[in-house]
Amino acid sequence: GPEDRAHAVDAQGRVDPGTSQLLGLQELTGGRLDRALALLAEAVAAVPDNALGWRQLGVALAQAREYEAAQAAVEKGLALDPTSMEGWYNLGVVVWKRGDPAAALAHLEHAWKLDPGNERVQFMLQSVASSQRRTGAQGASEQRAPGDGAQ
């Protein structure tokens, strides 16, 4: 029954998506990726129109190197909140890790337009552009994205 579940549930035994999301973010920050993925997936399953929850799930999936699933999650978040600079930034990072620097630059430029002067976006734009020049897109997917935080 619900008392056996290691999930965030309310008094009626229903998933409390806000608590799941918060705990998932704490687990992600603490490096407990499997637990973070379970909690964040639980949160978006309970409230599928939570743009922030989808972005956070996408970040966790990217940290697990599940880039295709990460891209799908971030894109769901952006469909719900297309003005999210963090969403476009996260999408840029994920598609870069998937080996598509041209798409990454386009998404990062969109993030830049939403928040001109953002230092993380500027740094990623420079990183992707320089890796593209250095490698011709070879090996860019294994680069570590600075500031890969769950936003």
pLDDT at position 11: 59
CA dist., res. 96 & res. 137, Å (int): 9
Which of 9-18, 100-109, 138-147 ranks highest by mean pLDDT?
A: 100-109
pLDDT: is 146 or 40 the higher one? 40
Contact status, residue 47 vs residue 41, Cβ threshold 8 Å: no
User: 70-113 pLDDT, tens per residue?
Assistant: 999 999 999 999 999 999 999 999 999 999 999 999 999 999 99
Q: How far separated are the first and last CA of the chain, in Å rounded?
A: 33
Q: Chain-centre distance of CA 133, in angstroms?
A: 26
